[in-house]
Structure 1
């Protein structure tokens, strides 16, 4: 039997929580293994196949022998393509030397935090937030300062709330637009107002998580912070990747641009951690960034149609309500009207987590509870699925809600 001493963990790892999204996905998988049909609206990934020309580029790379280690910060050709993307789409005047490529967007964020945080350093995280932000901060030895941003402010950070949250130990602000889990999108004027606060606090770095950049709806234009306020460029890490825009979640390629001192520190860390990202995936990412962009336009139109359908169906369901998200592929629905009720199986719904678990157990639909993202009582519904399955899931949820008793 292993002794307790041998099982002793790093204190930050021991106190970290596993991803709520993956916990729900595990529950869904367990039900499916029992032969139960479950519709999962919990995963944050497009349901489309990766475009053919991207897959062909990967196959060509394999057949061409491009299967060896690459530079830690990424292939020169890919970094050139990344720099071109930032110049073309975001108005950021950067060269390939101002970029880094990592094994997914998560590694970009983790490397940045691990390279810069010391004990006592604080990271401002607007809530609702992506579930991994606070856990990454903790794993890297920092402290999250959670700033609630409820529906009254469109689930977005206000300049007043930002100014109040900044302290002498503030190291980073994490800003995600369009947002996971709410789909909230910051306008140019909203970013400019936040920039004024940041300019008055020169000790604060900014991590702009733009991974859902290409999924903005209703004709809204996307802006990133360093584009809106160039004076913040030298203390902003602008992060993106190919996972959401090109349906390449499994290829694990994220990238960023930022100040040289930070990129060098991130590269040093990555060199002792994973080294360069997959050579095959990097060649696929070059094809994604340099090849036809029709897929983005076509998939965006499909997601916007799904959004409209989902919001309508959710708002027609007793006990649920949802504002119209401006981007991404999530609906963040209030389930306050369900709390205090009892399910047919006898479960009292005290929290939004109770709601999500009961919907899985009794309606066979997988969702993630909003409090896992820092704000309840909500449920996050990912509509990255065909309309027929989405309608079937919504009907099951509606039937569940109608079955509740006071």
Structure 2
């Protein structure tokens, strides 16, 4: 039988852990047992099959998300993502408690691997680093300091923190993002445009968890209902009624998130100045601020779009066939091609209105037109466009298979 822990029990826990403050070494607040284990073999443990029973031995679930019993490190939190709180070189040295089960190690390793796969953040076993995180097996809380505070800082994970049986890592992702330098989404300075806090429904003494932090930086990323750093609608509710209401429509409901959002990935890469394109497979064009990749597949035009859209992204931005708006962009893309890679699909077509060519972003060919002489000629119902060997555009039959489509990551301008 699953055990459901009611809100009033966590109120007692909350009173104990909520005294922690940003900037303090928090190692002794729960009398943590110092039992350092071997560094995680992230590749091995991240592939360990999930066993629900072993992951959360007590079968504990809670009415509210993990924030209900999370330490609220408020003091000076308005500086959480200033440069002096970041981890140098995006490297987070760590030690880990030996008392975690194999399944729990798997969940922690999956969280580490996930963050490493979408950013330049790296988890490195500690040798002699002064500043590092210690991942402790806690008896009662899920918590982390926000940003690098100096010296040892503890990320606490109790059995109840492993409630996510899909990947097991939802809370670990949340706490590692705290340690990397992120506060909760609903504390964002622009939050009142997007959510309403129903303080009349908030459990007494916990209202500071909804404190607005006007000094925090948004990194110019829009407010994100989908963020794993966002409270759910009933967090800290005293009466089962919503404490948070959305003010705008969105595809995401305010529930417990189990995965990073595109916005989470984007902000992490921006904060740590990772490669704007998110990896060496992408080529960054400085003057346009765009990212391009030549993909080694042979596809029809529509299949090429799907191949581009399926490319993994470390930035949280979507990919598709390229949109070319200047001669500089066109020349840069052409320079990426090897002699055997010419005749490539690009994201231009007139399949909607004959002879009215549009880019896949809906824009028209107006400010820059690079069709070859005599093109487009619409010969044999040629509705899609390729970049030819002479760095010009030709219309071509969409169901013809061409090599090496040119993909673009549609990053914010």
Fold shared, TM-score > 0.5 on shorter chain: no
TM-score, normalised via structure 1 length: 0.23
Structure number with greater CO (CA < 8 Å, separation at least 6) is: 1
TM-score, normalised via structure 2 length: 0.23
Answer 1 or 2: which has greater helix percent: 1
